[in-house]
């Protein structure tokens, strides 16, 4: 039996320990915020936080997530809009929106560890998150705006 915490609540899982956390969240728990985009850690659509760190849930097995504290975009939204979400809305970042939960989770983790990220910092931190609609320019602006808000 694998035990873990998802968005603050205790969960137990006794299926295939090799199953990626992403499919557990989506198919078993019905938490659809984290998305499937590539399944191999190349796009960031599935990004969640484990112990506050941005993590690709598509390549994190359930056994690796044992004992973890997992936060998904739903968990972030439970507490009202996060400053990153607010600046995402203000700058009208999303197009189709499919990648955006992953982008937002990655950006929150970035700002938690770096209050004033430079362009270079942003390039590095966000390099794993693809947006096929091409919203990068607004993502960059929204991260900077959120950083300013918090400063």
Q: Does the footprint of ligand FES cover residue 29 (CB under 6 A)?
A: no
CA distances from 75 to 22, 67, 78 (A): 15, 17, 5
Scanning residues 41 to 60, which ones bind ligand FES (CB under 6 A)? Answer: 41-46, 56, 58
Scanning residues 71 to 90, which ones bind other proteins (CB under 8 A)? Answer: 72-74, 76-77, 81, 85, 88-89
Identify which of residues 70 and 80 has a Cβ nearer to ligand FES in the complex. Answer: 70
Number of residues near ligand FES (by CB under 6 A): 23
**Secondary structure element (H or E) that encloses residue 3, with its range:** strand 2-6
Q: Read out DSSP for 85-130?
A: HHHHHHTT--SS-TTHHHHHHHHHHHHHH-SS--HHHHHHHTTT--
CB atoms under 10 Å from CB of 90, counted, come to 13
Contact 106, 126 (CB under 8 A): yes
Instruction: Give the interface segment with ligand FES, choosing from 34-42, 71-79, 84-92, 116-124 (CB under 6 A).
Output: 34-42
Which listed residue (5, 83, 95, 144) binds other proteins by CB under 8 A? 95
Beta-carbon contacts of residue 124 (< 8 Å; ≥ 6 apart): none
Q: Which residues bind ligand FES (CB under 6 A)?
A: 36-39, 41-46, 56, 58, 94-100, 131-133, 135
Site residues (CB under 8 A) for other proteins? Answer: 15-16, 19-20, 23, 26-28, 30, 32-40, 42-43, 45, 72-74, 76-77, 81, 85, 88-89, 92-101, 104, 122-123, 126-140
């Amino acid at each position: 039996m694998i035990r873990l915490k998802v968005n603050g609540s205790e969960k137990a899982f006794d299926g295939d320990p090799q199953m990626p956390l992403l499919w557990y969240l989506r198919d078993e728990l019905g938490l659809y915020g984290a998305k499937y985009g590539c399944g191999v850690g190349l796009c960031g659509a599935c990004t969640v936080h484990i112990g506050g760190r941005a993590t690709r849930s598509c390549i994190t097995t359930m056994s690796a997530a044992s004992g973890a504290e997992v936060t998904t975009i739903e968990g972030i939204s439970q507490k009202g809009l996060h400053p990153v979400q607010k600046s995402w809305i203000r700058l009208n970042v999303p197009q189709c929106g499919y990648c955006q939960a992953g982008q937002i989770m990655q950006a929150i983790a970035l700002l938690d560890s770096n209050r004033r990220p430079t362009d270079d910092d942003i390039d590095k931190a966000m390099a794993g998150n693809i947006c096929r609609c091409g919203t990068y320019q607004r993502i960059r602006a929204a991260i900077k705006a959120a950083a300013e808000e918090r400063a």
